[in-house]
Structures are given as structure tokens and as C-alpha cells.
A and B are shown apart, each in its own frame.
Chain A
Amino acid sequence: MANDVSETDFGTSPDDVQFRFRDDEVADHAQVTVDSFLEQSNAAAVRIEPGDDARALVPHLERLRLVEVNFPAFGDGRGYSSARVLREAGYEGELRAVGDIGIDQLAYLRRCGFDAFAPDSKLDEADAETAFARWENVYQHAADTRQPIPERRHASVGHE
């Protein structure tokens, strides 16, 4: 299962990914912890736990192909900030949400910059599709490029 953590098998494999919104090939680098990543000069994949500081990765973004953010319990929302912090810093590689993820978190996770999802237990495809497409509009900026309602309201008026 996705969460068996051992020395050799750490993090999710490409097979665990149920939803992916990228065209590039799935990175098959072995994920390491944030601490070992910062010590190792060659790792290209890292796994962030809720207590890790995503900003520590910011100086090394060019060599990262995959960042996996673990949600051991869906109610712990630190991973949402981690994701947005990385996207704001310009990270463009795969950002994979893994762990205790349900249908009702998908839209929020997506907005915070996640583009791959490896839930502990597979989600109903139809329910997930509905959830990803649920919100035609949004009220605030996040890590996606959607134009929030307060801007849309003023976009079409005048020429300013």
C-alpha cells in the first residue's frame, strides 16, 4: 500500500497515481525525505510531511521533478500551504497529493497547485470527475490561473 514506509520503498509509485493533470512522463525517481533531500545533491524527488517546511526546498527547485505531499489525515491542512508555497516560488514539476484524500478535498487541492493525486483508497471516478469540475468560478486567487470573481466583475467594464 501507498503508506508502507521502508528504507527502499518510500512514497508512492506511479501506479498509485489515480488522477494526473500533466502531459509529461510520470517521474519515477525515488522520493526522499526533506532532510535527506537537503543533504543529498542529486535527489530529484522529495516527500513532504505535514510538519516539514516547504520553503526549505525553494533554493533547489530546478533539480526537482516530483514533490509528493503527504496527508496522513485529511483534516491536517498544512499540505495545502506547502503546495501553494512551492507554486508561488515557481516550482513547475509534478506536485502529488498522497494519503487520506477524499472526493471533497480534490477541488481545493487542485487549486493549491496539486496536479497529481494518489489517494490511499481509490476514489469513485464519476464522483471525482464531478468534484474536479464542480466550481465554475472561485472567489480568491490561489495557485491556479483562474480569474477570481472579484476580478471578473471588473474585467469587462471600461478600458482601464
Chain B
Amino acid sequence: MYKYDNYDQAMVETRVAEFRDQTRRRLEGKLSEEQFRPLRLMNGLYLQLHAYMLRVAIPYGTLNSAQMHALADTAEKYDRGYGHFTTRQNIQYNWIKLEEAPDLLADLAEVEMHAIQTSGNCIRNISSDHFAGAAEDELIDPRPYAELLRQWSSFHPEFSFLPRKFKIAVIASETDRAAMKLHDIGIQIVKSDSGEIGARFYVGGGMGRTPMIAPPIRDFVPLDQLISYSEACLRVYNRYGRRDNKYKARIKILVHELGADEYKRQVEEEFAHMLEQGVEPPLAELERIKPYFADPSFETGLPTEIDRSDPDFALWVDTNTNPHKAPGYVSAVISLKPVGGIPGDASTEQMHLMAELSKEYSFDESRVTHTQNIVLPHVKIADLYALWTKLDAAGLGSPNLDTIEDIIACPGLDYCSLANARSIPLAQQISKRFAASGKTKELGELKLKISGCINACGHHHAGHIGILGVDKKGVENYQLLLGGSEAQDTSLAKITGRGFDEAGIISAVETVTDIYLDKREEGERFLDTYRRIGMDPFKEALYGE
């Protein structure tokens, strides 16, 4: 895992001092709320319905146990004993006091954590594959590149007042576990025909009210030009991205309005210029970063057989583990989606436990997934049963990864000032309904995603089944969408038709899953069946049309 040197540590501490000073000026009345707002946002502090919300960055979703313990302590000391892991691999606290925020950040700085650029119209925390460094199918660990980008983007003087927020994801595998093409810049680390490692750039993806899948802008950027190329992408956006309408300000709109080819042409021109400017960090820096992400010392000759005599355990192994590149190991996913729970929430005690387990069983490392779960990346197969037993006892053993119970839901009307409808209670009821009917397992992989409004924080556009909260004459109403995906086969879901009330949407979800069970062919997931048979059979069942 990456470790700060004195420079990194000083930067984070300087930021704490700066934020403390900004907070002081705000509390003294030297800054108006209007002036303070973008400053606090750049430090992840939102004013919500009931209190301040703070988003803490977890760069590329990777944590050591000391950091996970610190997140638990933060929940205890500054919040109400829990935290909420987000779809961009960060964590949010919902009950923060402004006066205490500087101290909270100072505490986090002690374990190399911060809230820098977790919000605001700047380059946000960089996300990555949650199985990075562990997955069987990856080309190379993508995190050193993400770390290089993290440093470059931190306090970038030119790109801190962009037209809109800017999200970057980096992956290095054909399997996309980071919704890469739904980012402002999605980078895939690839190998050229001549065996050279480089970066493929996708630019202009995003969700929100106008979802778009990022088109490829350049197939191969050599590693010693990665920053220069990123700089060029950003400069074209900063100069020409729309600022007249905040709903049209994301880079996806610029790329769409210019056309990918014209955007690309402008970037190439700026890129040629950037190469002359010498803005690229030395390659030695990438080489310095890489060893931090070197494999831990995996043991060899480990058993690969699993004793499946306990059926509950066997089920968990089947749903919640992922193949590992080292024989005798797997990546184990801790579901933060207990039936009837709040998706992505973890209590102080649970975080402490996950920290301890990561230390005991996973080389001191854990990861946050964009589906709001926690990964222990390197677990010995021989340790799985002991691990599962402890998880299960703490309510962290739900065997429901990638099933209909593994719901992504935004905070919705329970916390969010922009919401039309509640998301969390809906997620709770749906998971209860399917757990009770016992259909979860039969349905297999089924990604359900709920947003409380068109901003799409809950990724509803990318759900195999998506639910969108809308306001219908002051009453909460829900639209149903089908056919989205944020994996390597990225697609955008389509609305089925008129919306439903709360009870209606739950039944509607059940109806479409029944159609799937009825029509599916051997080996098909819900999404595959939908793609094969199209919307009509679902519509017919829903509306009888």
C-alpha cells in the first residue's frame, strides 16, 4: 500500500491548517456562506437537510487497518456511531458539526487520510478496481497510475474551478469493476502490440440527468506522457466546457456537442503543446510508487480445497469470493447489505472488526467497492471458514454479493436536500421481500440501483434494474428502468413507462424478475434475457399493454 513520505504528510497537514483557517474566517463572519460554500465543498463538507455531511477520501478505495480503525473512531467521536461507504469508494458521515470538522481532519491526517477534493468543481478522488493487485484477470496493478494522478490533481492550480466536478477512474483489466466508462475520464491501462504498457483514455462519460458512455479518445498514451495528456484533456474542458447552465457543464456535454473527433483534435493540439512545456513528472516517480503496491508475501503450497459441509458457508463462498492470482488465496467481499439494512452503512464496531480481520487475514489491507461493500483482497482459502464465522457473528456475513439484495441506493429524502423520494426505505423493503420469498439465489446476478432524484447518485441508469425517484405533484413516485450495466458491457437503462407508488414499485420489481425467470435460457443473467427479448414482454407484464 502507498505510504506518505514527508512531502505527502506536509501537504495534508497544510490542508488541515488551511481548512481550519477557512472555518475560522467563516465562524468569524469574514466569509459569507456563499463564499465559504465552494471552499468547504472542496474539502468534502456539504450542508444537508439536518447537519453537515463530510466525505472522506479513500484513494482508489484502498485502506490499511489503522485507517479503517480511524474511520471507526471518527464515526464514534464526531458522528453517531456509523459511516456510509459510497459508490465512489469514499466514506461519508452524516452528522458533522462545522466547528469540529478541522479537528476531525487533523485526526485523519495522522493516518494519512483527508477529505481533499471529495466534492466541488475540481478533480475528485480517483477511483479504481477494488480487486486491484489481486484479480486473476488484471494486466497490472492500476493503483500506481491512480496514485500518480492523485498527486498531480491535488491542489491543481489551473483546474480547481472547473465548470463542474470531474471524476477519474483507472482500471487495468478487461473486466470493468469501476464503472470506468461512466466517468469524466476513464483510463484503462493496456499493453500495446509491441508489449509496451500505456493508457487508453475514454473521455466524457457520466450519469446525472444526461447519462453518457465515454467514447475512446486515444487508444494509447505512453506512460511517460500520462500527466501531459490528462492536462490537455482538462485544459480543453476548462476553457470550453459550458458554464452557462450547470446541468450542461459536465465534460460529457462538451464532448457530445463538439463531437468526440473534434474534442480529440483539440486535445491532441493541446497535448503537443504540453509535451513542450515539460509538465510530466519523471518516470522515476512512477517507479518509486510501484513497489508500494508490490504483492505481499504470498505463501506457496497452500491448500485450494474448501470444506463445503456447512451449507451457509458454502453459499457465502460461492457468492462473496473472487478468484485470486495467487494459488490458495481468494478475495473475500464483506457485504454491507444485510437484509433490511441501509446499503453501505457500517457501525463503529463493524469497522473496527473489519480492520482487525483485514490485519489478521488479508495482509492489513481492505478495499471499498463502488457497490458499497468492503473487500479483503488477499485471504487464504484455508482461513475462509474462520473469517466467515466472525463476519457472520457480527452481521457482516450476508451471502448476497451481486444479487438483488446487493442494492446501491443513494441517501435520498432521508438525508439529501435535492431528493424527490426516499431511496433507503425502498432498498430495505426490496431486500426483505426477496429474502423472504427465497428468490434471491435463483435470480443470480441482478444489479438493482436506486436514486432519489435525477442526479443519479445511486447509478440507476446503470442498473440491470434501476429505480428513479420522481416528484409527482408533491407525491413520491418511482420510475422503473431496465437494461443498464456499468461493467465492460456498459449500457444505459431505459424507462419502462409510467411510474409507480412505493408499494407499486416493489411489486413491479417482482413482476419483471418473474418474467426473467419465466423466459430465461440456460446461463442467462437477467440482463442477458432482457437484451435478448427486449422491453416488450416486461412492459406487457407491468402495464398489460
Contacts and interface: CB of A to CB of B under 8 A. Distances in A.
Contacts of A116: none
A127 B25 contact: yes
A87 to B, nearest CB: 10
Interface in A123-138: 124, 127, 130, 134-138
A53 to B, nearest CB: 8
A40 B160 CA distance: 34
Interface stretch (A12-20, A30-38, A77-85, A91-99): A77-85
Interface string B152-165: 11111111111000
A124 B7 contact: no
Contact of A142 (B158, B227, B243): B158
Given A127-B25, A153-B7, A111 B157 contact: yes
B273 interface: yes
Contact of A150 (B11, B39, B285): B285
B282 A151 contact: yes
Interface residues of B, number: 44
A81 B158 contact: yes
Interface stretch (A3-11, A62-70, A100-108): A100-108
Given A81-B239, A103-B25, A152-B7, A138 B284 contact: no
A2 B130 CA distance: 52
Contact of B278 (A50, A127, A136, A141): A141
Contacts of B194: none
B99 interface: no
A136 B285 CA distance: 20
Interface stretch (B14-22, B167-175, B339-347, B455-463): B14-22
A155 B121 CA distance: 33
A80 B273 contact: no
Given A108-B160, A134-B18, A139 B152 contact: yes
Given A148-B281, A153-B285, A75 B155 contact: no
Nearest to B155: A139
Interface in B1-43: 5, 7-8, 10-11, 14, 17-18, 21-22, 25, 30-31, 35, 38-39
Nearest to A100: B35
A78 B239 contact: yes
Contacts of A80: 157-161, 238
Contacts of A103: 25
Given A108-B160, A112-B157, A134 B288 contact: no
B14 A134 contact: yes
Question: In this complex, which of A107, A130, A150 has the most chain B Cβ atoms within 10 angstroms of its Cβ?
Answer: A150
Question: In this complex, which of B10, B121, B239, B282 has the most chain A Cβ atoms within 10 angstroms of its Cβ?
Answer: B239
Given A81-B239, A104-B22, A139-B154, A88 B11 contact: no
A151 B14 CA distance: 20
A125 B214 CA distance: 46
A2 B514 CA distance: 68
B238 A81 contact: yes
B245 interface: no
B279 interface: yes
Contact of A154 (B38, B39, B284): B284
Contacts of B21: 127, 130
B7 A77 contact: no
A76 interface: yes
B270 to A, nearest CB: 10
A41 interface: no
Nearest to A138: B155
Contacts of A42: none
B151 interface: yes
A133 to B, nearest CB: 11
Contacts of A150: 148, 151, 281-282, 285
A125 B286 CA distance: 40
Interface string B342-378: 0000000000000000000000000000000000000
B155 A77 contact: no
Contacts of A84: 158
A97 B10 CA distance: 29
A109 B156 CA distance: 11
5 contacts: A81-B158, A136-B10, A136-B14, A140-B157, A140-B281
Interface of B: 5, 7-8, 10-11, 14, 17-18, 21-22, 25, 30-31, 35, 38-39, 121, 148, 151-162, 227, 235, 238-239, 243, 273, 277-279, 281-282, 284-285, 288
Given A102-B35, A142-B157, 20 more contacts: A76-B243, A77-B159, A77-B161, A80-B157, A84-B158, A109-B157, A135-B11, A135-B14, A137-B11, A138-B155, A139-B11, A140-B153, A141-B278, A149-B7, A149-B151, A151-B281, A152-B7, A153-B5, A153-B285, A154-B282
List 4 tightest A-B contacts by C-beta distance, closest first: A77-B161, A150-B281, A111-B157, A108-B157
